[in-house]
Each structure stands twice: as C-alpha cells, then as structure tokens.
Chain A
Amino acid sequence: EPEVTQTPSHQVTQMGQEVILRCVPISNHLYFYWYRQILGQKVEFLVSFYNNEISEKSEIFDDQFSVERPDGSNFTLKIRSTKLEDSAMYFCASRNRGLLNYEQYFGPGTRLTVT
C-alpha cells in the first residue's frame, strides 16, 4: 500500500538557521498539507496546497514559512530562520481529489529540535 514518506525523521538545528523538511506524498494525490504538533499539545494545521499554490494557511504559517512542490513528487516545508518555539513534530499529509474524499494520509513525521 502506498504511503506518505518524510525525511529526515529527526532534524536538529540551531536557532536562526534555515531548515527544509521533505515529504513525498502518495503519487496520485493532489492535495497536500503540513501540520505540526508541539510536544504535549494538539496537532495544528499549518498550510494546504493544491494546484501549485497555497489554498489555505493558518496564523502560525507566517513569513518565515514557505512550501514548495519543486518537482512532481516532493513537497517541502521551509522555515527560513528557526526559533526555539518551532521545535515540534511536523507531519505531512496528502489526499486524493473528490469532494467526498476528505481522508488525509499522514507521513510518519519529522521531529524538529531547535537549540
């Protein structure tokens, strides 16, 4: 069964550095998402992406964040200048087309630690 994959599984970076988190969604999916979960808190929506553009973003997704689908398979989340409070698990998800097909398939997550 196809799965969403994410790399790396764990990323440690220093405050102020740029990080890129990578995701490979399921191949025939058209909608892509990033969520994050700070330790001990709930999973929060960051951004959704469809047809090569952002379709919705949350308040968390400020100018420090960007997403890209550089080729036909990867979907990346970039944080330009990381802060301590960006430390979290970041989950990528994808889903297929269809108004009645809202099921999102999640990747295993990338744990980002900002020191």
Chain B
Amino acid sequence: AQRVTQPEKLLSVFKGAPVELKCNYSYSGSPELFWYVQYSRQRLQLLLRHISRESIKGFTADLNKGETSFHLKKPFAQEEDSAMYYCAPTGTASKLTFGTGTRLQVTL
C-alpha cells in the first residue's frame, strides 16, 4: 500500500535556524515526489518537486531512494516559512498521496 510518513506534527524553530522536515514514503514503482505548502488562509500550492532538483524560497529536497526519504531542508528559517507542509508522492495514476503534514512554526 502507498504510504507517506511525516513523523513530526509540529516543528518549532527560531528564525535563522536550520529546518529539516522529514518525509519517508512507501510507494510502488517510481513515484514523483512533491512538497506542497499551505500558508495560513491560503490554498495548497506546490513548493517543489524532486524531478526538477530546484530550490524554491531557499528550500531543497533530496530524494534518497535507498532510504525512501524526501526530506525538506532550509539552512536559515524565516518567519514567512511558517505554514503546513505536506509531502506527497504521485505515480502514473497521478493521484497525490498526502502525508499527515508538519506544521512549521518559526519564532523570533
């Protein structure tokens, strides 16, 4: 069965501190992996995808197929990063399988 694990419900960090949001997945085939973000009172939006290997708003995520992980990282957290973050793999069927989400809280 397809499964996504985001072990932390809440991650609280100080501004300027490094951030790592964990995601482990169990998925048949070769999924494409995404991180979606939901800022307060806004819709779910794509943050980044593993296939493009890009950095968005300072965030990066490396796919580790051996560990089946896709952790999201940022070296220096900003207040505006406070949001809900969802890891979501998808396959050729294209439905997204969401993790439970991690609330990132960046404090001064």
Q: Decide whether A and B assemble into one complex.
A: yes
Residues of A at under 8 Å CB distance from B? 4, 31, 33, 35, 41-45, 48, 55-56, 58, 91, 93, 95, 99-100, 102-109
**Quick check: A35 and B101 within 8 Å, CB to CB?**
no
Listed A/B pairs (7) with beta-carbon separation below 8 Å? A33-B95, A35-B96, A35-B98, A41-B100, A43-B96, A45-B96, A48-B94
Number of A-B contacts (CB under 8 A): 54
From B44, B45, B94, A102 is in contact (CB under 8 Å) with B94
Residues of B at under 8 Å CB distance from A? 32, 34, 42-46, 49, 51, 86, 90, 92-101
A58 vs chain B, min Cβ distance (A) = 8
Minimal Cβ-Cβ distance residue in A for B99: A42
Closest 4 CB pairs of A and B: A43-B98, A106-B44, A45-B95, A42-B100
**Quick check: B51 and A100 within 8 Å, CB to CB?**
yes
Per the bound structure, the CA–CA distance linking A108 and B41 in Å amounts to 9
From known contacts A43-B44, A43-B86, A91-B44, infer whether A104 and B98 are also in contact, taking CB-CB under 8 Å. Answer: no
Minimal Cβ-Cβ distance residue in A for B51: A100
Per the bound structure, the CA–CA distance linking A47 and B94 in Å amounts to 11
Q: Which residues of A contact B90 (CB under 8 A)?
A: 102
From known contacts A35-B96, A42-B101, A48-B95, infer whether A106 and B43 are also in contact, taking CB-CB under 8 Å. Answer: yes
Q: Which residues of B contact A91 (CB under 8 A)?
A: 43-44
Known: A48-B95, A55-B93, A104-B46. 14 other contacts (CB 8 A): A4-B43, A41-B100, A43-B86, A45-B96, A91-B43, A100-B51, A102-B32, A102-B49, A103-B46, A103-B49, A104-B94, A106-B45, A107-B43, A108-B43
Minimal Cβ-Cβ distance residue in B for A91: B44
From known contacts A103-B46, A106-B43, A106-B45, infer whether A44 and B98 are also in contact, taking CB-CB under 8 Å. Answer: yes
From A42, A56, A104, A107, B93 is in contact (CB under 8 Å) with A56
